[in-house]
Structure 1
Amino acid sequence: MKPILSYNWDGRPRRDFLRLGMMAGAFAGLSASQRSIANNSGPAKATGAKACILIWLDGGPSHLESFDPKPDAPVEVRGPLGSIATKVPGVRLGECMERTAEIMDRITLVRSLTSPLGEHAVGTHYMLTGYQPTPVLEYPAYGAALAEVHQPRSVLPAHIAVPKFDDALSGNGFLPTRTAPFTVGGNPDSPNFKVRDLEFYPGLTLDRLQRRKQMVGQLDQFHRKLQQADVVGESALQRAYQLAASQEAKQAFDLSQEPQAIRNLYGRGGGSGIGQSCLLARRLVQRGVPFVTVGSTGWDTHQNIRTLKERFPGDRNAHLPSMDRAFAALVTDLESQGMLDETLVLVMGEFGRTPKINAGGGRDHWPNAYSVAMAGGGVPRGVVVGQSDALGERPADLPVTPADLAATIYTLMGLDPAFELHTSDGRPVRLAPDGAEPIREICGVTERDA
C-alpha cells in the first residue's frame, strides 16, 4: 500500500518539496496531510511490557549450534561443536553460549517453532509480522504496529533499527511511513560512530531550519484546508527538526557516556557490532523508545558451520560468541537497572538449519523446527517451551507457528492480538492472524481455555 501523496502548486509531490529541508532523509515519503489509518484510540494497555528489544539474526541462525543442541545425535547431526550445561538442570546450550548458560534461569526458550517457509524474504515476513506473505499486502512488523497504536513517550522515534532494519521488509507495511523504523546506520562499535540526521548539514543552522519549518507549517495549513483532512500526519521536516534540535536525542545515541566497563561487558571489536548495538538499544528503551530492532547479519551458514564459533584460532568476535556475550549482557544490564520486568527481549531469525551437515560442512535452510529465546517483559524464567525431536528436525510437542509467536509478543506487550489496524482503504486487519493463540506456557490462559 502506498502512502497518500499531496501536491504543491507546481504539480510536484509535496514530499519532494520537503526534501529541500535536507534533514528529512530518513523520513522521505511522509506527507503532512496523510490521513491516519487507524481511526481509533488503540487497545488498552493496563499491563504488559513497556518496551521490546528484538535481536534479529538475519540469515537463519542454526538452532543446533545455539539454543537446541543434540549431544546424543549422530555426529552428522550434532555437528562439530559441543554443548554445555546451564543453570537450569537438564537444559543444555551450544558450547559457544557460555554466558547465556549462566543466566538460563532468567530465560525462556521456545524450541518448537515451525513454519513452511524456508526462503529468506518470505520467512522474514512471517517471523516479523506473524502473517504469511501475500502478493496483495505487506503486513507491518511488530515495531510499526506498536508505533501506530501507542504515542511515543519522547522526541525519539517509536520504532528504531540498530544499525538497520532487514532489507526484506519496509517495516511499516500498509501502515503510514511515520511508523517505519528509523534506521540508525553505521556501526555502533566504530570509534567515530554517528547517527545520521542528528547533525546539521553544512550551511544549515538551527535558525535557518526553524524558518524553513515555519514556512512548511504554513503550507501545511493551506493544504489541510484544501484537502479537508480529518487527521493530519507529522511532516518529515518537523520530525527531522525535532531530532536535530534535541539534546535528548543526541545524548540517547551517545555511547561514549557509558562506562568502559559496561561497554566491554557487551563486547567490543569485530565487524558485526552486535554488542554495542545491544547497549545502544538499552539506552533507547531507557529513554522511552518502545521498540528497538538490533540487526545482526551473516547467519546464512551453508558452508563450514564452525565459522560461527571462530574464523581463526582464538577468535572471540565470531557470530556465536558475540551474540552470546551481547544477549547475556543485555539481560544482566536490564535487570541491574530494574528494567528487565518491563522490557521484553527476543532473539530469533527467519528459520533454523538442516539437522544433517551438508557436503560443504554447513547447514541449509530448515523452517520445520527452530528456536526463539525470550527474557524479561513478564516471560517466565528458566523455562523451555516445546521440544524438537531427537534430530532437531520437527517439533516433538507443542508446535508454535510464527502467528502464535506474534500473538504471544503482542500479549506480553499488553495488546489484544485481535485488535484491528486499518489499511488506507479502510480494510480491518488484526494485529495477529485469526486463529493465532498466545503460548499458554508463557502468557497463561488462552481463549481456548477460557
Structure 2
Amino acid sequence: MARIDRQGASGPSRRTFLVASGLGLSGLSPGRLATAGAVGEPSPTGGGSAKSTILFFLCGGASHLDSWDLKPDAPAEFRGPFLPIATSAPGVRLSEHLPLLASQAHHLAVVNSVGASVATNDHHAGYYYNLTGHRPDSTFLTLGNDRTPRPDDWPFMGTVVGSRRPPHPTLVNAITLPHKPSRAPYTRPGQFAARLGVEHDPLYLMGDRARPLNFQVPALTLQAEVGPERLRDRRALLSAVDGARREFDRAERVRTYSTLEQKALALLCSGETARAFDLADEPEAVRARYGETVNGMSLLMARRLVEAGVPFITVFWMEDREIADRCKSAGGWDTHGNNFNCLKEYLLPEFDRAFAGLIADLDDRGMLDQTLLLVTSEMGRKPRIGDPRSGGQSGAGRDHWTHCQSVLFAGGGIRGGQVYGSSDRVGAYPADRPVTPAHVAHTVYHAMGLQDLQATDVEGRPFPLLSEGAPIRDLF
C-alpha cells in the first residue's frame, strides 16, 4: 500500500504529510464549483451490467491504421506494411501483431468511426476531449501546452461515475495508475474532477518500469517522527496533518480538507487497502499472462481493484524513455518516426499480452459481464506516412491526426464480436455511423447505469454534465 518514508532534500516540503497530489488538490484550487446528482446504485434499467469500468488510455496517440482499422487496399503511401488477420469473431480483423487479442475478439466491439477533430491537433486537447467528452475550448488553441488543468474544466468521466456511487468503505471511487500524464508543468487537462470538486478526484497509484510489481501513493508520506506504529493514533495523525495545512491557501482549500484527511487515514490504516495494492501474492502464471511490465501489472492491479469494488480505474500507458529516440516520441504511442518498427517490436506486443490477458482473466473469473473495458487514446495517426519532423517519408513516422480514431469496448453488457462504423478508404475521416468522444463517454455512463447527468453549481442552478452525444446503444 502507501509507502512511508522521508522525502528527499529536493522535494517541495521535506518531512511533511502531503494529502495533496494524489488524493485531491492536484495542483488546482479545490473550491467546490458543482455538486453531482444523487448518489446511488445504478438503475436496473439504466443500460449495461457494469459495476466497474477499466479505461486503458494509450498515451501518445495510437495508430488506428496499424492496429484495428487497417487499410490493406489503400495506396502504399497510406497503408503501411502490416496485414490484417482473422480473429475469433467473423468480420473483426486486427493487426497481425495482435495475435493474442485476436483470440479474444469475440468479446470486442471495435468502433472505427470516432471523429474527434480539434483545432489544435495536439495532446492537451486530445486528452481533454477523450477523457471528458467535451470539445476543447479556445484556450487550448491559444495556450497549447501551457493550457494546464483548471478548476472550472469539465470533469473526467471517471470522476463523474465515481461521484454517482456510494463512497467506497476503504478505498476511493476513482483510481488512476501507474502515472499522472504528463510531467509537470505540462500536466494534461481532463483527468480531474474539476468543477465537480476535488473530493471526487482520482487517487493516483504510481508505478515504476524497473519495479513493475510496486505501486505507491505519493500523497501519503509521513513525517519522520510519525512511524507506522502510530498510524492508529488518530490524534498523532491529525497533528501531522495540521502541520501540512500551512502548505495550502487558508480560504477555499480548507473546505475540502477534512474529506481528504479521512481518505488518507482510511487508506493508511486499512488492511483491505494493503491487500488490494499488493501484487506479490498473485500466482506467477497470472502475472505472466499479463506480462510483467508496468503496463501489464497496472491492468492486473486494475482487475484487483475491480474485485475490491472500485467503480472506475484508469490505466494511463506508461512510456518507455529507452525507446523515445528510436520512435521520435516520449517513448509511447506518439510515433512521429519509425512508426512500424516501434509498433511491431515494442508497443503492440506489450499491449497485446496485457489487454488480452485482462479480458481472458476477467472472463475466466466470471467478472467480464460486470466490468466495462474501454481502450482509447488522445488521437489517431495521420494516414499519409511520413512526418516532416522525422525526415518525411524516409522517417516512416505518422504525425498527429485528430480527425479519426478507433476505440475498443468489451464486457459490461457490450455485445462482443462486432465492428461499429467505418472510416473512409484511407482511414482519414469517419464514413459510416460517425460518433465523437461525447458518444463514447455517454456509452460508458450508459453501461454503468447512470441516468441523471445533472449537476448543480454553487448558486444552486442545475446544468448538464454532458449535453452533446448519446450512448451507442447498438453496442449493447
State TM-score, norm by structure 1. 0.82
Flag structure 2 segments of 5+ consecutive residues without an equivalent.
Answer: 1-11, 140-149, 182-186, 244-250, 320-331, 387-391
Which residue does 1:410 correspond to in 2? 445
Asked if structure 1 preserves the Cα contact closer than 8 Å seen for 2:129 and 2:136, the reply is yes
Which residue does 2:203 correspond to in 1? 182
Which residue does 1:241 correspond to in 2? 265
Shift of 1:218: 11
Alignment of 1:108-187 (within 5 A): 108-117=109-118, 118-134=121-137, 135=139, 137-166=152-181, 167-169=187-189, 170-187=191-208
Asked if structure 2 preserves the Cα contact closer than 8 Å seen for 1:152 and 1:290, the reply is no
Which residue does 2:42 correspond to in 1? 45
Please give the alpha-carbon distance, in whole angstroms, between the structure 2 residues aligned to 1:442 and 1:334.
Answer: 19
Which residue does 1:371 correspond to in 2? 406
1:187-206, CA deviations, whole angstroms, 9 ceiling, x for partnerless residues? Answer: 27616724135675533134
Which residue does 1:7 correspond to in 2? none
State TM-score, norm by structure 2. 0.78
Which residue does 1:63 correspond to in 2? 64
Please give the alpha-carbon distance, in whole angstroms, between the structure 2 residues aligned to 1:327 and 1:191.
Answer: 16
May I ask how many residue pairs the two structures share in their alignment? 405
Which residue does 2:472 correspond to in 1? 439
In the superposition, relative to structure 1, how do residues 165 and 152 fare at CA in structure 2: closer, same or farther (>3 Å)? Answer: farther
Please give the alpha-carbon distance, in whole angstroms, between the structure 2 residues aligned to 1:378 and 1:265.
Answer: 24
Which residue does 1:331 correspond to in 2? 359
Asked if structure 2 preserves the Cα contact closer than 8 Å seen for 1:37 and 1:175, the reply is yes
One-letter code of the match for 2:225?
Answer: G
1:275 aligns with 2:296: yes
Please give the alpha-carbon distance, in whole angstroms, between the structure 1 residues aligned to 2:438 and 2:134.
Answer: 6
Flag structure 1 segments of 5+ consecutive residues without an equivalent.
Answer: 1-15, 220-226, 444-450
Asked if structure 1 preserves the Cα contact closer than 8 Å seen for 2:106 and 2:416, the reply is yes
1:251 aligns with 2:291: no
Which residue does 1:10 correspond to in 2? none
One-letter code of the match for 1:260?
Answer: E
1:207 aligns with 2:230: yes
Question: What is the root-mean-square deviation of aligned Cα atoms in Å?
Answer: 2.9
Which residue does 2:89 correspond to in 1? 88
Which residue does 2:334 correspond to in 1? 300
1:385-417, CA deviations, whole angstroms, 9 ceiling, x for partnerless residues? Answer: 10112211212210011111111111111012x
In the superposition, relative to structure 1, how do residues 210 and 174 fare at CA in structure 2: closer, same or farther (>3 Å)? Answer: same
In the superposition, relative to structure 1, how do residues 129 and 157 fare at CA in structure 2: closer, same or farther (>3 Å)? Answer: same
Please give the alpha-carbon distance, in whole angstroms, between the structure 1 residues aligned to 2:430 and 2:416.
Answer: 22
Which of 388, 392, 407 in structure 1 is aligned with 2:427? 392
One-letter code of the match for 1:145?
Answer: V
In structure 2, the residue corresponding to 1:26 is in which secondary structure? coil
Shift of 1:131: 0.7
Please give the alpha-carbon distance, in whole angstroms, between the structure 1 residues aligned to 2:355 and 2:18.
Answer: 37
Please give the alpha-carbon distance, in whole angstroms, between the structure 2 residues aligned to 1:189 and 1:414.
Answer: 39
One-letter code of the match for 1:407?
Answer: H
| Range moving further from structure 2, 246-255 or 197-206 | 197-206
In structure 2, the residue corresponding to 1:185 is in which secondary structure? coil
Identity of aligned residues (%): 38
Shift of 1:217: 10
Asked if structure 1 preserves the Cα contact closer than 8 Å seen for 2:112 and 2:422, the reply is yes
Asked if structure 2 preserves the Cα contact closer than 8 Å seen for 1:23 and 1:200, the reply is no
